[in-house]
């Protein structure tokens, strides 16, 4: 399938053939991934951020909550006891607090207990990614938010995040530094979803071709209510999201597809057979959320509030297996 075929799968006329698309996507996912869903959970390290993204509940936080190394490890311990072995460390941009020394200390300590440590933080230089990889991190999640430069500028007027190109280059810098699980995405609702999906598919295909030994994945973060009260200018329906997921699966049959607890339980359950390979569960999007030590704002509202046991049961009910430990490590 070439890029033009992918664009046709994303088109409006193809929306009328969604069942056909879903069936094809299902077959390709079974062939390439079997009946497994890799489970992960995020740990929010802090809710302070120097950026002012129009849509984020953390924007322009003054003094908020920031976990000490000990507090971050306590959060991780709760997830470990629940069975998680893949975790994602999330933080707003506060380089004076989320320092390299802090990150290395947290990562090195977690590396002893977790099989995979992903980062969802501000973009770094290649040498910094290398330091964190050597400390034990292996995954990077970084969303371009929107691939449209004008929309990007409107949404990220101030702060370091205004640098579109530095953010766009982050997945490549991280992969060159050794990271082998790369997850990209567009924040759905900021711009026309078909335009974003077209750019995202091209970006993913480029990364897969250039870094063929890494696992490249795509997430589908759809704008949800947050304390910013931002209204998405281009709402994306469940049907649109389903078309996008199926089209990406058919275009890139070995691409990882990730769906977080931003989405409702009904939608997540229905999308399991269509192409998903990773899901989060029981996520808290505020720092200290698992230990309930702080009453901090969430970055966004979680829609699927089920426990990890309930999500696992729903996956089993679809005849799939939730996997907490991924043995398939790729060494570069
Ligand atoms: S989206 Fe990220 S970078 Fe933007 S304000 Fe929120 S935490 Fe900061």
Per-residue burial over 20-50, b if 16 or more Cβ lie within 10 Å, else e, is ebbebbbebbeeebeeebbbbbbbbbbbbbb
pLDDT at position 244 is 98
Assess if residue 283 is contained within a domain.
Answer: yes
Mean pLDDT for all residues in the chain: 92
pLDDT at position 332 is 33
Assess if residue 244 is contained within a domain.
Answer: yes
175 CA to middle of ligand 1, Å?
23
Q: Whose CA is nearest to atom 7 of ligand 1?
A: 92
Tens of pLDDT, residues 101-156:
999 999 999 998 999 999 999 999 999 999 999 999 999 999 999 999 999 999 99
Q: Does 223 sit in the ligand 1 pocket, CB within 6 Å?
A: no
296 CA to middle of ligand 1, Å?
15
Whole-number Å distance between alpha carbons of 117 and 98: 16
Tens of pLDDT, residues 87-98:
999 999 999 999
Tens of pLDDT, residues 32-49:
999 999 999 999 999 889
293 pLDDT higher than 90 = no
Helix 238-251 / helix 3-10 crossing angle, nearest 10 deg? 160
Q: Whose CA is nearest to atom 4 of ligand 1?
A: 53
Whole-number Å distance between alpha carbons of 45 and 66: 6
Q: Under the phi-then-psi rule, with left for phi > 0, alpha for psi from -120 to 50, and beta for the rest, what region is 172? A: alpha
Assess if residue 292 is contained within a domain.
Answer: yes
121 CA to middle of ligand 1, Å?
9
pLDDT interval class at 64 (50, 70, 90): confident
Whole-number Å distance between alpha carbons of 317 and 218: 25
325 pLDDT higher than 90 = no
Assess if residue 328 is contained within a domain.
Answer: no
- Written as six digits, the tokens of 135 are 């400390």
Assess if residue 230 is contained within a domain.
Answer: yes
pLDDT at position 224 is 72
Assess if residue 331 is contained within a domain.
Answer: no
pLDDT at position 57 is 72
Among candidate residues 218, 222, 186, 188, the one with its CA nearest the CA of residue 205: 218
Instruction: Please state the atom number of ligand 1 nearest to the C-alpha of residue 60.
Output: 5
Q: What is the DSSP letter of 125?
A: -
pLDDT interval class at 225 (50, 70, 90): low
Identify the CATH number of the domain in which residue 208 sits.
3.20.20.70
Give, for ligand 1, the residue of 44, 51, 154, 162 to mutate: max count of ligand atoms closer than 8 Å to Cβ: 51
pLDDT at position 329 is 43
Assess if residue 329 is contained within a domain.
Answer: no
Tokens 């509030």, located at residue: 305
Q: Does 161 sit in the ligand 1 pocket, CB within 6 Å?
A: yes
Instruction: Please state the atom number of ligand 1 nearest to the C-alpha of residue 59.
Output: 5
- Written as six digits, the tokens of 84 are 């998680």
17 pLDDT higher than 60 = yes
Run of H or E residues at 78: helix 69-82
Lowest mean pLDDT among 3-7, 207-211, 224-228: 224-228
Q: Does 51 sit in the ligand 1 pocket, CB within 6 Å?
A: yes
- Domain assignment of residue 93, given as a range: 3-323
Give, for ligand 1, the residue of 97, 158, 161 to mutate: max count of ligand atoms closer than 8 Å to Cβ: 161
Contact 40, 88 (CB under 8 A): yes
Phi first, then psi, for residue 289 (nearest 5°) are -65, -30
Contact 184, 195 (CB under 8 A): no
250 Cβ neighbours under 8 A, 6+ residues apart: 1, 6, 9, 21, 24, 25, 28
Q: Whose CA is nearest to atom 2 of ligand 1?
A: 92
Assess if residue 174 is contained within a domain.
Answer: yes
Among candidate residues 265, 270, 305, 268, the one with its CA nearest the CA of residue 289: 305
pLDDT at position 202 is 98
125 Cβ neighbours under 8 A, 6+ residues apart: 173
More confident residue, 190 or 58: 190
pLDDT at position 4 is 97
Which range, 176-190, 221-235, 258-272, is most confident? 176-190
Structural domains of the chain, count:
1
Of all residues in the chain, the percent with pLDDT exceeding 70 is 93
Tokens 């009904």, located at residue: 266
């Amino acid at each position: 399938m070439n890029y033009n075929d992918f664009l046709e799968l994303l088109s409006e006329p193809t929306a009328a053939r969604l069942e056909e698309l879903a069936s094809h996507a299902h077959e390709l996912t079974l062939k390439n991934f079997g009946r497994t869903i890799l489970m992960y959970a995020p740990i929010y390290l802090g809710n302070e951020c120097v950026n002012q993204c129009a849509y984020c509940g953390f924007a322009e936080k003054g003094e908020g909550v920031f976990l000490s190394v000990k507090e971050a490890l306590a959060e991780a311990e709760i997830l470990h006891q629940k069975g998680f072995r893949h975790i994602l460390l999330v933080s707003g941009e506060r380089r004076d607090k989320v320092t390299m020394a802090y990150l290395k200390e947290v990562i090195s300590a977690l590396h002893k207990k977790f099989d995979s440590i992903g980062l969802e933080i501000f973009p770094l230089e290649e040498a910094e990614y290398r330091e964190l990889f050597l400390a034990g991190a292996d995954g990077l999640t970084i969303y371009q938010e929107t691939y449209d430069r004008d929309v990007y500028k409107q949404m990220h007027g101030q702060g370091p995040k205004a640098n579109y190109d530095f953010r766009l280059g982050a997945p490549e810098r991280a992969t060159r530094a050794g990271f082998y699980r790369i997850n990209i995405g567009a924040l759905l609702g900021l711009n026309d979803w078909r335009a974003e999906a077209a750019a995202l598919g091209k970006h993913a295909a480029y990364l897969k071709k250039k870094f063929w030994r890494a696992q490249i994945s795509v997430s589908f973060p759809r704008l949800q209510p947050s304390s910013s009260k931002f209204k998405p200018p281009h709402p994306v329906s469940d049907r649109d999201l389903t078309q996008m997921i199926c089209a990406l699966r058919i275009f890139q049959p070995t691409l990882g597809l990730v769906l977080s607890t931003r989405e409702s339980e009904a939608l997540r359950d229905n999308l399991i057979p269509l192409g998903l390979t990773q899901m989060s569960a029981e996520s808290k999007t505020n720092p200290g959320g698992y230990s309930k030590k702080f009453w901090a704002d969430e970055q966004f509202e979680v829609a699927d509030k089920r426990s990890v046991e309930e999500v696992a049961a729903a996956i089993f009910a679809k005849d799939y297996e939730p996997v907490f430990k991924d043995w398939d490590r790729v060494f570069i």
